């Protein structure tokens, strides 16, 4: 029993212990959907990043366990709790705390560049296609997916995905982090 529990905990949270990161089937779908969407816009694919996925998977778990979407006050889902080994951050609508969020990839995974996140919330369970459709229809999120507006001068060279419970997040970076996407078995 203890061995099975240990194996389960390692497979669920290995990303926190510096072990190789694997993507769930739904996270792999999200990555593939985003790449297909970019291809339809004649954009290059974004290479998968293990470090950015580590950040994404850590964040969705923090959101599920410590963020109350219905009673969040001024903090939006780009916020980070004070319940982990990271600097807590209340990301407000005026973006004054943006730097705190942008630094999370370095703080959590050692990714040397800043990271930019899009987040999706579902009152039920987040699913890849639902998240992508939500972001595509959002004037604040779609530009990151297709490098338009403020993001038009950047080339994404790393992407990480996380889906857990009611949340899906995607992290984008401009520095390379060559990794192989491994799907959890």
Lowest-confidence segment of 89-93, 103-107, 116-120 by average pLDDT: 89-93
How confident is residue 71, by pLDDT bands cut at 50, 70 and 90? Answer: confident
What is the phi/psi pair of residue 92, to 5°?
Answer: -100, 160
Is it the case that residue 19 has pLDDT exceeding 80? no
Report how far residue 28's alpha carbon sits from residue 26's, in angstroms, rounded to the nearest whole number. Answer: 5
Q: What is the C-alpha end-to-end distance of the chain, expressed in Å?
A: 20
Mean pLDDT over residues 102-110, rounded? 95
85-98 pLDDT, tens digit each: 999 999 998 888 88
pLDDT (0 to 100) of residue 18: 57
Question: Which letter, b or e, does each residue of 108-147 get, where b requires 16 or more Cβ atoms within 10 Å of its Cβ?
Answer: bbebebbbbbbbbbbeeebbbeebbebbeeeeebbbbbbb
């Amino acid at each position: 029993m203890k061995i099975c529990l240990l194996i389960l905990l390692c497979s669920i949270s290995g990303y926190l212990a510096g072990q190789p990161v694997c993507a769930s089937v739904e996270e792999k779908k999200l990555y593939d959907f985003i790449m297909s969407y970019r291809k339809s816009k004649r954009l290059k694919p974004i290479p998968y990043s293990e470090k950015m996925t580590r950040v994404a998977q850590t964040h969705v778990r923090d959101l599920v366990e410590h963020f109350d979407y219905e009673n969040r006050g001024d903090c939006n889902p780009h916020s980070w709790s004070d319940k982990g080994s990271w600097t807590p951050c209340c990301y407000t609508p005026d973006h004054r705390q943006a730097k705190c969020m942008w630094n999370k990839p370095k703080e959590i995974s050692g990714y040397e560049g800043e990271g930019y996140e899009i987040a999706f919330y579902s009152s039920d369970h987040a699913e890849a296609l639902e998240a992508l459709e939500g972001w595509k229809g959002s004037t604040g999120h779609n530009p990151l997916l297709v490098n338009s507006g403020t993001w038009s001068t950047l080339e994404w060279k790393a992407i990480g995905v996380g889906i857990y419970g009611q949340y899906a997040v995607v992290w984008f970076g401009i520095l390379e982090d060559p990794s192989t996407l491994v799907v959890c078995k």
